Amino acid sequence: MISRNVGIIGAGRMAAETANYLKAQGVQVSFFADEYGKGQEKDNIPHIDILRIPRDIDLIIAVGDPSLKKKLVALVRKNNNKVRFISCICSEASGKIYLGDDVTIAPGCNLTTDIKVGSHVIINIGCNISHDVEIEDFTYVSPGVNIAGYSKIGKGVMIGVGATVIDRVKIGDNVIIGAGAVVIKDVPSGDTVAGVPARSIK
């Protein structure tokens, strides 16, 4: 259950979108925080330094880059061990969905059933996630992505706008999938793929 008072780590456009999602659910956003916070406001919400986050606050990290997000989580945990990461869910699911901490599912997504989503994951607007899909920690799914049934997405993956992952495909850790790509076979960890069908471009 989402709390009524939340801080957002990040101060870019994704943070602004997340603030709007939260406001629509009746949640007050207390602050935006990043490494450059100098007290300025954005949409009447204070902007603070990430090292000055109050204790006992619920947080959402609104940063797409998986490697940066991982660093921010470690930094926040090191400086504030009482912080709680929460999720922001703006789409309906038709069946069982298992979520980790700090998951954002934007409006207009369609999630079916028996889906597992790890911690610190963003599923952006208009995505379709089919049955029995697993998405691991620190993954970013861009707008309009389609992931078919029984696929597994590794840790720290970035999936570009409008990409498609067909059924039963395994994507390794730290993979980048280009915009509009159609992934029809497994992708090893650390690879970058693009095109139709998707091929390695590293």
CA distance 135 to 142: 13
CB 83 within 8 A of CB 53: yes
Q: Classify burial at 44, counting beta carbons within 10 Å of its beta carbon; exposed 0-12, middle 13-18, buried 19 or more.
A: exposed
CA distance 202 to 190: 9
Q: Classify burial at 82, counting beta carbons within 10 Å of its beta carbon; exposed 0-12, middle 13-18, buried 19 or more.
A: exposed
Q: Which of 177, 181, 178 is nearest to 196 (CA)?
A: 181
| Catalytic annotation, pick one of 131, 166, 172, 192 | 131
DSSP category for residue 24: H
- Give the full edge-to-edge strand order of the sheet including 170-171: 97-99, 115-117, 134-135, 152-153, 170-171
Q: Is 131 a known active-site residue?
A: yes
Q: Which of 58, 81, 66 is nearest to 139 (CA)?
A: 66
Which residue in the block uniquely carries the two structure tokens 């947080």?
59
Report the catalytic residues: 131
